[in-house]
Structure 1
Amino acid sequence: MKWEGNRESSNVEDRRGSGGGGGGGFGIGGRSIGIGTVVLALIGWGVFGINPLTTIGVLSGGGSPAPTQQGPAKAPPANDAGAKFVSTVLASTEDVWTDIFTKGGAQYRAPRLVLFTGVTRTACGTGQSAMGPFYCPGDQKVYLDMDFFNTMSRQLGAPGEFARAYVVAHEVGHHVQNLLGISGKVDAMRGRISEREQNAMSVRLELQADCYAGIWANHSQQAKSWLEQGDIESAMNAAQQIGDDKLQREATGTVRPDSFTHGSSAQRVRWFTQGYKTGSVQSCDTFQAGSL
């Protein structure tokens, strides 16, 4: 991936080494959506029989927001290669979604990307590294502990720069859903439908974010021609490695489709590919799709 030399986003906030605002008293409240949340959740499900949604509170609608970090936001160091990479990817998502929204007669409001280690305060409660990268609609920020990228490479079998870019683009996809009112409509249904139906809605939400990541890949490649041989395959491999079925099988030896919250490996690959091939928001309507 030929990313060096491209524009970097100024919407990056570096909380690493600042203590992050952790401590007790800040449970997860509101709703945060993360690409890696199922990894921890499945451990709780396999050992204790706790539903993944309950384990980490990702899809809980209640609770009071935690106070966000006070004081001026700090930018990452200029010589931090990892931060430069995610800043460059974020800048590309800003360009792509600004163009798509503008052509649709709307204005795109870019999210901020918060880099942290361990724990950090968010408008959705306390964000933790164990949750993996996640998006909080309460403050419209994407939260990322970049150690997750090491986890992807060493534990999940998903190495590569474009696999990391896919992670960022997926979380930005959740921001797009928030701006379009999609995630709000899904949240409004919670408590009125069964747990199984909630899981199914979560799967559709996550697969749409995968599809939106594919849209970004399509448009960014058209604009920059920065993808190299194997990059798309790297992203598709990442999508496959974090499928619910694969993670459940590795964690417990069994697969329970009714408990899926992010979608199977095949589904995640399919919807990323759908977005990449079409580059069309309309093609990513997972909620109207008869088959995922």
Structure 2
Amino acid sequence: MKWQGRRGSNNIEDRRGRRTSASTAGGVGGVGLLVILAIGWFLGIDPTFLLQGNDQPTEYSTGQAPSAEEETAAQFVSVVLADTEEVWGNIFASQIGETYNPPILVLFSGVTQSPCGNASGATGPFYCPVDQKAYLDTAFFAELRDRFGANGDFAAAYVVAHEIAHHIQNELGILGKANSLRSRVSEADSNAISVRIELQADCLSGIWARNVEAQLGTLEQGDIAEALNAARQIGDDRLQRQAGRVPQPHTFTHGSSEQRQRWFATGFKSGNIEVCDTFGTDRL
């Protein structure tokens, strides 16, 4: 991906290097629960511990100053975020006749706080619809590369695009409707709805990638393969196998490797939001 020397976004909130004292939330509402379950990049871990706030003041240390690698990653994120703003601004105008309101992306190191619960490197990147911000510890890119084998700058761009896709869903009212439905169904059905949310975000990420190439011409040979590999590496079935577990589809919250790759490819091939209706199909 050609990103060096290009325009970055102004919608970055940099919390790296801070120390703050804050109170954790006493509980997470329906929308917050949706997001907490949606951040399961490490799907071998039960995310319910994130919901157990205690209303006690807690001091968060974000650790040492960012490394040179993390500074480069932050610059990269800023450029990718700017690309999402340009691309989705055009798509909203041309496909749905509305104005796109971009989110803030929070960069942090170690641990920080959000209205949807604490954000940490262990939980991975996530989007919080309460404050309409995406949260990212840039050290996650090294984790993505070293632990999961998702190499390349466009694998990292896919991570950013996926979280911004959740903002697109929020802008379109999808997250609220999905949350309302999840509150009335069983745990297994709730997980199934989460899978549809995540696969739709993968499809929207594919739409973004297609338009990055069409509008900006910044993709390089191998970029799409990097994104597809990242989607494969973080499929629920693969992560559960890596955790030494037999894959259990009823526990999936993001979708299998095959599903994640296929829905990204669907968005990339079409470029039309309508093809990303994961809620209106029987074949995920």
Flag the 1:100–1:28 CA change in 2: closer, same or farther, 3 A: farther
Once the two structures are superposed, the pairs formed by residues 1-292 of structure 1 within 5 Å of their partners are: 1-19=1-19, 21=20, 25-26=24-25, 29-30=28-29, 31=32, 32=35, 37-39=40-42, 41-43=43-45, 52-57=46-51, 80-103=71-94, 104-292=96-284
Q: How far apart are residue 35 of structure 1 and its match? A: 6.8
- Report if the CA contact (8 A) 1:142-1:172 is conserved: yes
Q: Deviations over 1:145-196 (max 9, x none)?
A: 0110010111001011000000000000000000100010011123310001
Q: How far apart are residue 2 of structure 1 and its match? A: 0.8
SS in 1 for 2:118: strand
- Report if the CA contact (8 A) 2:40-2:47 is conserved: no
Unaligned stretches of 5+ in structure 2? Answer: 58-67
Separation in structure 2 between the aligned mates of residue 53 and residue 36 of structure 1, nearest angstrom: 8
Q: How far apart are residue 36 of structure 1 and its match? A: 5.4
- Report if the CA contact (8 A) 1:37-1:130 is conserved: no
Identity, in percent, stands at: 51
Separation in structure 2 between the aligned mates of residue 167 and residue 13 of structure 1, nearest angstrom: 18
Q: Deviations over 1:190-213 (max 9, x none)?
A: 331000100000000000000011
Q: How far apart are residue 80 of structure 1 and its match? A: 3.3
Separation in structure 1 between the aligned mates of residue 229 and residue 38 of structure 2, nearest angstrom: 14
**Superposition misfits of 4+ residues, deviation over 4 angstroms:** 33-36
Aligned residues: 268
Separation in structure 1 between the aligned mates of residue 26 and residue 121 of structure 2, nearest angstrom: 14
- Report if the CA contact (8 A) 2:202-2:260 is conserved: yes
- Report if the CA contact (8 A) 1:34-1:134 is conserved: no
Q: How far apart are residue 223 of structure 1 and its match? A: 1.2
- Report if the CA contact (8 A) 1:35-1:133 is conserved: no
Separation in structure 1 between the aligned mates of residue 154 and residue 38 of structure 2, nearest angstrom: 15
SS in 1 for 2:272: coil
Separation in structure 2 between the aligned mates of residue 195 and residue 33 of structure 1, nearest angstrom: 14
Q: Deviations over 1:58-105 (max 9, x none)?
A: xx9x999x9xxxxxxxxxx9x932211100000000001111111221
TM-score by length of structure 1 reads 0.85
Separation in structure 2 between the aligned mates of residue 178 and residue 22 of structure 1, nearest angstrom: 29
Q: Which amino acid aligns with 1:37?
A: G
- Report if the CA contact (8 A) 2:149-2:233 is conserved: yes
Separation in structure 2 between the aligned mates of residue 91 and residue 34 of structure 1, nearest angstrom: 27
- Report if the CA contact (8 A) 2:15-2:108 is conserved: yes
Separation in structure 2 between the aligned mates of residue 28 and residue 236 of structure 1, nearest angstrom: 36
Separation in structure 2 between the aligned mates of residue 149 and residue 284 of structure 1, nearest angstrom: 26
- Report if the CA contact (8 A) 1:120-1:126 is conserved: yes
Separation in structure 2 between the aligned mates of residue 63 and residue 188 of structure 1, nearest angstrom: 25
Separation in structure 2 between the aligned mates of residue 35 and residue 241 of structure 1, nearest angstrom: 17
Q: Deviations over 1:224-276 (max 9, x none)?
A: 21111111000000000000000001102311000000000000000000011
Q: Which amino acid aligns with 1:180?
A: L
Separation in structure 1 between the aligned mates of residue 184 and residue 21 of structure 2, nearest angstrom: 33
Which moved further from structure 2: 84-93 or 118-127? 118-127
Please provide the CA RMSD for this pair: 2.4
Separation in structure 2 between the aligned mates of residue 5 and residue 249 of structure 1, nearest angstrom: 40
Separation in structure 2 between the aligned mates of residue 202 and residue 98 of structure 1, nearest angstrom: 26
- Report if the CA contact (8 A) 1:210-1:271 is conserved: yes
Q: Deviations over 1:87-125 (max 9, x none)?
A: 000000000111111122111110001000111121212
- Report if the CA contact (8 A) 1:35-1:134 is conserved: yes
Flag the 1:25–1:80 CA change in 2: closer, same or farther, 3 A: closer
